[in-house]
Structure 1
Amino acid sequence: MTHADLTDLDVAHLLADAARNAILPHFRQSGLRAENKEAEGFDPVTVADRAAEQAMRAILTQYRPDDGILGEEFARTTGRSGRTWVLDPIDGTRGFISGTPTWGVLIALDAGAGPVLGVIDQPYTGERFVGGADVAQMTGPLGPRPLGVRATRALSDAILFTTFPEVGTEAEGDAFRAVSGQVRLTRYGMDCYAYALLAAGQIDLVIEAGLNAYDIQAPIAVIEAAGGIVTDWTGGSAAQGGRAIAAATPDLHAAALALLSGVT
């Protein structure tokens, strides 16, 4: 089979399958070691992160040799097509080493102006959330289901998620808490799984800061395919990372953005 025989969606599924196979043998195993990538703070990486990204890069070398690759663990590869595959082999390594099933594999295809295809895959639960121009679907233990955001319009009815309670800087945390103070429920610590839940119609808002492109491009594609909205805190593109807000409806997005947009 050559690269011409596979659609981009086919390739994305191959990447997710390869990452699952590389990661699962290490999950919840005694003796798994995590290296710290930060001189200050804690940003862990494991053999599973690196093995998964290497497995995905090998598939792209075979089936999409002209495309670029931006991954978390290895150097960027510049392609000739103007397209870039954006990979986070384990988004939520802190959760991974803690044994929680809230981490995931993130795969996006950036055609030059942002992601046009995205996958959020949770290998342990067997859930896969896929979004693009012609697809918005999840698969898993309950079978295939279409993705679709909730119709929540008021902050007072919304469920809000973020990964870290401090969110980012002191000012970013204050802005987040201004939104949190108006919603029905706030939860923490879900990493990319929170974005998947938004696309699946379980929650209404995700607000984060300090992101990289590989943290957010797959969620953008999946949530937009499900009918939601993802921007930065000024209403612009979040595709290159930084601060991001994902919302189920325009009304929720506008209400939350009004409380976030003044942060410098």
Structure 2
Amino acid sequence: MTDPSADFVVPEAWLDLAHALADAARPVARRYFRQPLEIIAKADESPVTIADREIEQAMRALIEARFPDHGIFGEEFGRTREDAPVQWVLDPIDGTQAFITGMPIFGTLIAACYQGRPVLGVVDQPILEERWVGAAGHPSTFQGAPIHTSGCADPGGATLYSTHPDMFAGLGRAEDYGRLTAAVKRTRFGGDCYAYGLLASGWADLVVEAMLQPYDYCALGPIVEGAGGAVSDWAGDPLTITSDGTVVAAASPALNVAARGLLNR
């Protein structure tokens, strides 16, 4: 089957909107960061704050104003125009646990998917004022300058990031993940979306996750891939808006293959 997004080049108007969305999110996140907040528990017991909801509302309004025929899939307010070929996928604060505990490694995630495939991604860290952008047909950038992964191909020399080991136990894959951690040079936990920015910039080599939602991962693949890395699910398939929530993001195609070999042995 031909991939309709394989040769797709993201229009400049989409990139302009992505930057505008991140610009709109920053002051809201900064206003609420390290301030007393009411923490609301969602049905899955994950926390949400007024900042999450205010940011998503602002971003949705901008999309509606510029591209009213595009779909929107946001963590806080669900989906609109689900059948539209272009879907904007939004996570206003990825890493809410970090946000509510005052740690500046959370980020606003913005993705555009075309025919189900992520083709544009932004990770914006509002407190540090750092921004990674990746888009099909464009080089990935950090603070507007091109970036590249480390190119690491050997797990034995790799730095691995994952958000938390519990995600693998919850999937019944703790033993598989343990083979990977035993093979790499070092393993670090935490980081959320920030770890993928470090990977794209060459400071880390591998990020492995599980049990993610589309708004958790759609923005990340275009950034890593546009910096020379390789991103897939654990089976090796490209990420889509309907993927199973497993992610292997690697500094090189060879490292992606090697990591998946350890996970799936």
TM-score, length-scaled by structure 1: 0.91
3-state SS, counterpart of residue 76 of structure 1: strand
> Aligned runs of 1:160-199 on 2, under 5 Å?
160-168=160-168, 169=170, 171-199=172-200
Instruction: Report sequence identity in percent.
Output: 44
2:27 paired with 1:21: yes
Structure-to-structure mapping, 1:92-241, within 5 angstroms? 92-132=95-135, 133-139=137-143, 144-168=144-168, 169=170, 171-239=172-240, 240-241=242-243
1:103 is displaced (CA, Å) by 0.5
SS in 1 for 2:167: coil
Which of 255, 259, 262 is the matching residue for 2:262?
259
- Secondary structure of 2:166's match? coil
What value does the CA root-mean-square deviation take over the aligned residues? 1.6
Structure 2: give runs of 5+ residues left out of the alignment. 1-10
TM-superposed CA distance for 1:20, in Å, is 0.9
Structure 1 stretches of 4+ with a deviation exceeding 3 A read none
1:18 CA displacement? 0.6
Supply the distance in 2 between the matched residues of 1:7 and 1:145 (Cα, whole angstroms). Answer: 19
Residues in 1 aligned to 2:114 and 2:46: alpha-carbon distance in whole angstroms: 29
Which whole-Å deviations, capped at 9, do the CAs of 1:144-183 have from their partners, x for residues lacking one?
4311111211111000000012233263222111101011
For 1:205, the aligned partner's letter is L
What corresponds to 1:9 in structure 2?
Answer: 15
Can you list the C-alpha shifts for 1:183-235, whole angstroms capped at 9, x where unaligned? 11100011000111111111000000000111111001111111111111010
CA distance in 1, matches of 2:112, 2:64: 15
| C-alpha separation in 1, matches of 2:105 and 2:147 | 19
User: Secondary structure of the equivalent of 1:171?
Assistant: coil
Contact 2:161–2:189 under 8 Å retained in 1: yes
1-side partners of 2:58 and 2:215: how far apart? 17
Per the TM alignment, residue 126 of structure 1 is displaced from its structure 2 partner at its CA by: 0.3
Structure 1 unaligned regions, length at least 5: none
Give 3-state SS (helix, strand or coil) of 1:65's partner. coil
How many residues are matched?
251
Aligned 8 A contact 1:66 1:80 in 2: no
Does the residue aligned with 2:110 lie in a helix, a strand or coil? Answer: strand
